[in-house]
């Protein structure tokens, strides 16, 4: 910690070997105790906490000042470091061997009574924490999260520096495109009635950098997405965005592995073993029912369709007779009572299954299950074999069309299998995503932006619903940390992809004309990735929500309880921008104000 005349050393830096030194500390009153006229203060600053002893006899300040000291007063103390009296050392505090005997004290700033205690470990309402974020930041949790976020970004930069990546800033006031219905807009004052958009990602600009010959680019890019808030999204968020020319997928994954190793080492002091596991999208869906599998545990989905080919159990037979499938997971020794099993059945139904069959392997090898009576000896043996089941294991089986079975079992797997309070980290690359998602009505929606290279452009044209793209995700403990792809660098392939995606030539020109023009000038093959910084740090810190990692986040309605944004603005400011608030919105305001008695 850099020093100043106002503060010669950090409170948390004092150790036994500093005994005898005269130092000046500055920080906040974390705790104050009076013992027989002597005042003990835990002084906290960014470096930690140390005990300060204020003995009025040694007159560090007037009695008025001493007795006025309250929690979170910002104070400066000059004194002598000394060993704590025999038997009073605090082993839990890095500074616990010493204390500061104060001979001078200045109150730099008093504090008003606090809306919540800084020290307490009790939970405080998140709304209050956000309203007083600056006080929340003095607490161990947020202070640690801010440090971790800064350290993680530093670790990412080290990897980028080692790889000779240029840090390039792409613009944040960009063109809005017709497909950008979720673009956030910025009205222009110099061209009233015209708008910039805030970027959802630097995608096209980083591709321009590749065309421009930059070859290795990175940026910690602020991105914006004005979508309905999901539990763990923010309208503004930060990505580590990088791209390389003359690259394929392998080069991107190699850089990602370095980033994972460096960031985990920095935040947790752990070695991640390389290579990181890789799984195809198809395998992930098949085995784990999701494209972001949590690999901290196995519990793979097992296909039982062949096993039940001749079953007497009508529900399974019916499904199998109509192109459906029967699959299940071995939930292990769940030890659930009947009510717990019923809740799993309900959960499966909520998730879209018609039902859930549970079976519990008994000590004698038989199966306890509502459907046991329909199962033959051969089937029972085969089931136990397929699940590698031991006595006590709970088997969960769903029969339906494949898409439903996969999705339901994937989520039940998390419900019964996902470890709580686990320190384990399971990174995995998910590869070979399909080009299209197949909708329930059989129609196709592009799974990625239209600049993603298909694995085979002819295959894409002939079998679009099964065609694979050169795209990949990085997943940690069941959460997607980011995604990337090899990009199209050939204007003709780009045109074909637009065609397959039902984007007409004229449409493509009006939306991306300037980019298609750029592609014509010797575009190098290139590939890249973007990692959600806050998501990654939150998981590594064991935080349930990215709001815990973001210094000043918005709530789920996009509001900032601290500053009150978003708000209304003056008429004449809007006038200059050539815009107006629509009359019906104003009427809504007036009514709301009336209702509020205003």
Site residues for a copy of itself, window 213-272 (CB under 8 A)?
213-216, 222, 224, 226, 228-229, 235-236, 238, 244-248, 250-251
Site residues for a copy of itself, window 100-159 (CB under 8 A)?
108-112, 114, 132-138, 142-143, 146-147, 149-150, 153-154, 157
Q: Which of 42, 45, 291, 473 binds a copy of itself (CB under 8 A)?
A: 45
* Residue 170: φ, ψ to 5°: -95, 160
Of 413-421, 423-431, 445-453, 586-594, which part binds a copy of itself (CB under 8 A)?
586-594
Q: How far is the CB of 50 from a copy of itself (least distance, A)?
A: 15
Of 82-90, 352-360, 404-412, 522-530, which part binds a copy of itself (CB under 8 A)?
522-530
525 near a copy of itself (CB under 8 A): yes
Site residues for a copy of itself, window 442-461 (CB under 8 A)?
none
Compare residues 13 and 303 and give the one whose CB is closer to a copy of itself: 13
56 near a copy of itself (CB under 8 A): no
Q: What's the DSSP call for residue 275?
A: S
32 near a copy of itself (CB under 8 A): no
Compare residues 567 and 597 and give the one whose CB is closer to a copy of itself: 567
Compare residues 28 and 308 and give the one whose CB is closer to a copy of itself: 28
d(Cα 524, Cα 521) in Å, to the nearest integer?
Answer: 9
Q: How far is the CB of 461 from a copy of itself (least distance, A)?
A: 21
Instruction: Write b or e for each residue in 541-550: b if 16 or more Cβ atoms lie within 10 A of its Cβ, otherwise e.
Output: bebeebbbbb
Q: Among candidates 354, 368, 438, 351, which has minimal Cα distance to 398?
A: 354
Compare residues 155 and 428 and give the one whose CB is closer to a copy of itself: 155
Compare residues 97 and 156 and give the one whose CB is closer to a copy of itself: 156
The contact mask relative to a copy of itself for 486-505 (x = CB under 8 A, - = no) is: ---xx---------------
Q: How far is the CB of 97 from a copy of itself (least distance, A)?
A: 23
Compare residues 231 and 521 and give the one whose CB is closer to a copy of itself: 521
- Locus of tokens 């800064």: 150
For a copy of itself (CB under 8 A), the number of binding residues is 136
Of 358-366, 376-384, 439-447, 519-527, which part binds a copy of itself (CB under 8 A)?
519-527
Provide the pairing of β-strand 526-532 with 479-486: antiparallel
d(Cα 591, Cα 579) in Å, to the nearest integer?
Answer: 22
8 Å CB contact between 38 and 53? yes
Site residues for a copy of itself, window 317-336 (CB under 8 A)?
none
Residue 431's SS3 state is: strand
Q: How far is the CB of 547 from a copy of itself (least distance, A)?
A: 12
Q: How far is the CB of 464 from a copy of itself (least distance, A)?
A: 25
d(Cα 474, Cα 480) in Å, to the nearest integer?
Answer: 6
What is the token pair recorded at 322?
């109509």
What is the token pair recorded at 376?
């033959």
Q: Among candidates 137, 132, 138, which has minimal Cα distance to 115?
A: 132
Q: How far is the CB of 375 from a copy of itself (least distance, A)?
A: 53
The contact mask relative to a copy of itself for 460-489 (x = CB under 8 A, - = no) is: -----------------------------x
Site residues for a copy of itself, window 385-424 (CB under 8 A)?
none
Of 160-168, 312-320, 372-380, 421-429, which part binds a copy of itself (CB under 8 A)?
160-168
8 Å CB contact between 184 and 198? yes
What is the token pair recorded at 101?
């005997």
Q: What's the DSSP call for residue 531?
A: E
Compare residues 29 and 319 and give the one whose CB is closer to a copy of itself: 29
Of 161-169, 307-315, 392-400, 470-478, which part binds a copy of itself (CB under 8 A)?
161-169
Burial (CB < 10 A; 0-12, 13-18, 19+), residue 598, is exposed
- The sheet carrying 357-361 orders its strands as 302-303, 325-330, 394-400, 357-361, 367-368
Cα angle 295, 300, 304 (rounded to 5 degrees) comes to 170
Q: Which of 12, 23, 44, 398 binds a copy of itself (CB under 8 A)?
A: 44
Compare residues 423 and 570 and give the one whose CB is closer to a copy of itself: 570
Q: Which of 175, 272, 351, 402 binds a copy of itself (CB under 8 A)?
A: 175
The contact mask relative to a copy of itself for 332-371 (x = CB under 8 A, - = no) is: ----------------------------------------
Residue 22 region by backbone torsions, left for phi larger than 0, else alpha for psi between -120 and 50, else beta: beta
Q: How far is the CB of 520 from a copy of itself (least distance, A)?
A: 4
8 Å CB contact between 244 and 216? yes
Compare residues 149 and 384 and give the one whose CB is closer to a copy of itself: 149
Of 180-188, 369-377, 407-415, 476-484, which part binds a copy of itself (CB under 8 A)?
180-188
- DSSP string over 434-489: BSEEEPTTS-EEESS-TTBPBS-HHHHHH-TTT-BBSEEEEEETTEEEEEEEEBP-
* Residue 319: φ, ψ to 5°: -60, -45
Compare residues 229 and 374 and give the one whose CB is closer to a copy of itself: 229
Q: How far is the CB of 215 from a copy of itself (least distance, A)?
A: 4
Q: How far is the CB of 185 from a copy of itself (least distance, A)?
A: 6
Q: Among candidates 322, 325, 301, 504, which has minimal Cα distance to 411?
A: 301
- DSSP string over 346-368: HHHHHTT-S--EEEEE-TTS-EE
* Residue 325: φ, ψ to 5°: -145, 155
* Residue 348: φ, ψ to 5°: -60, -40
Rg (the chain; Cα; Å): 30
Site residues for a copy of itself, window 538-577 (CB under 8 A)?
550-554, 557-560, 562-570, 573-575, 577
Compare residues 73 and 281 and give the one whose CB is closer to a copy of itself: 73
What CA dihedral angle connects 363, 367, 369 and 373, to 10 degrees? -140
- Hey, how many other C-beta atoms are within 10 angstroms of the C-beta on 503? 18
The contact mask relative to a copy of itself for 70-99 (x = CB under 8 A, - = no) is: --xxx-x-----------------------
Peptide bond into 566 cis (omega under 30): yes
């Amino acid at each position: 910690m850099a020093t100043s005349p106002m503060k010669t050393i950090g409170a948390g830096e004092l150790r036994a070997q500093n005994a005898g030194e005269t130092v000046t500390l500055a920080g906040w009153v974390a705790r104050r105790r009076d013992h027989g006229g002597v005042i003990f203060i835990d002084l906290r600053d960014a470096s930690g906490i140390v005990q300060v002893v204020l003995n009025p006899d040694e007159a560090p300040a007037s009695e008025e000042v001493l007795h006025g000291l309250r929690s979170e007063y910002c104070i400066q103390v000059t004194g002598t470091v000394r060993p704590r009296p025999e038997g009073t050392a605090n082993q839990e505090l890095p500074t616990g061997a010493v204390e500061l005997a104060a001979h001078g004290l200045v109150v730099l700033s008093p504090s008003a009574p606090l809306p919540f205690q800084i020290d307490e470990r009790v939970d405080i309402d998140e709304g209050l924490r956000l309203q007083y974020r600056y006080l929340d930041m003095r607490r161990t949790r947020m202070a640690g999260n801010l440090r971790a976020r800064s350290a993680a970004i530093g670790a990412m930069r080290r990897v980028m520096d080692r790889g000779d990546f240029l840090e390039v800033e792409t613009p944040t006031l960009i063109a809005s495109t017709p497909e950008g219905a979720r673009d956030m807009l910025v009205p222009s004052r110099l061209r009233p009635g015209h708008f910039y958009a805030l970027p959802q990602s630097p995608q096209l600009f980083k591709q321009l950098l590749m065309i421009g010959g930059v070859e290795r680019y990175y940026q910690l890019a602020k991105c914006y997405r004005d979508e309905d808030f999901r539990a763990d999204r923010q309208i503004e968020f930060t990505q580590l965005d990088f791209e390389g020319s003359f690259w394929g997928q392998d080069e991107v994954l190699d850089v990602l592995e370095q980033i994972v190793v460096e960031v985990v080492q920095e935040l947790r002091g752990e070695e991640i073993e390389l290579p990181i596991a890789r799984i195809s999208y198809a395998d992930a869906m098949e085995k784990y029912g999701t494209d972001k599998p949590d690999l901290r545990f196995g519990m793979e989905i097992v296909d039982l369709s062949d096993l039940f080919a001749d079953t007497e159990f009508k529900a399974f037979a019916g499904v199998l007779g109509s192109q459906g499938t029967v699959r299940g997971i071995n939930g292990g020794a769940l030890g659930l009572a009947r009510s717990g099993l019923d809740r799993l059945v309900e959960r499966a139904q909520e998730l879209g299954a018609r039902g859930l069959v549970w079976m519990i392997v008994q000590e004698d090898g038989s199966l306890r299950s509502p459907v046991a009576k329909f199962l033959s000896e051969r089937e029972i043996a085969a089931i136990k074999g397929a699940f590698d089941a031991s006595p006590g294991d709970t088997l969960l089986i769903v029969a339906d069309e494949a898409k439903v079975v996969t999705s339901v079992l994937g989520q039940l797997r998390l419900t019964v299998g996902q470890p709580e309070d686990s320190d384990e980290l399971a990174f995995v690359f998910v590869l070979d995503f399909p080009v299209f998602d197949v909708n329930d009505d059989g129609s196709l929606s592009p799974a990625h932006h239209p600049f993603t290279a298909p694995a085979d452009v002819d295959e894409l044209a002939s079998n679009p619903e099964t065609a694979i793209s050169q795209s990949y995700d990085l997943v940690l403990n069941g959460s997607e940390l980011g995604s990337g792809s090899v990009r199209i660098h050939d204007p003709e392939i780009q045109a074909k992809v637009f065609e397959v995606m039902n984007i007409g030539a004229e449409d493509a020109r009006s939306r991306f004309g300037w980019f298609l023009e750029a592609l014509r000038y010797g575009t190098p093959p290139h590939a890249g990735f973007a990692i959600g910084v806050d998501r990654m740090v939150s998981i590594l810190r064991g935080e349930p929500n990215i709001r815990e990692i973001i210094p000043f986040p918005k709530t789920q309605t996009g509001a900032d309880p601290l500053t009150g944004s978003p708000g209304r603005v003056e008429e004449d400011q809007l006038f200059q921008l050539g815009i107006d608030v629509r009359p019906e919105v104003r009427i809504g305001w007036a009514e709301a104000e009336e209702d509020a008695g205003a």
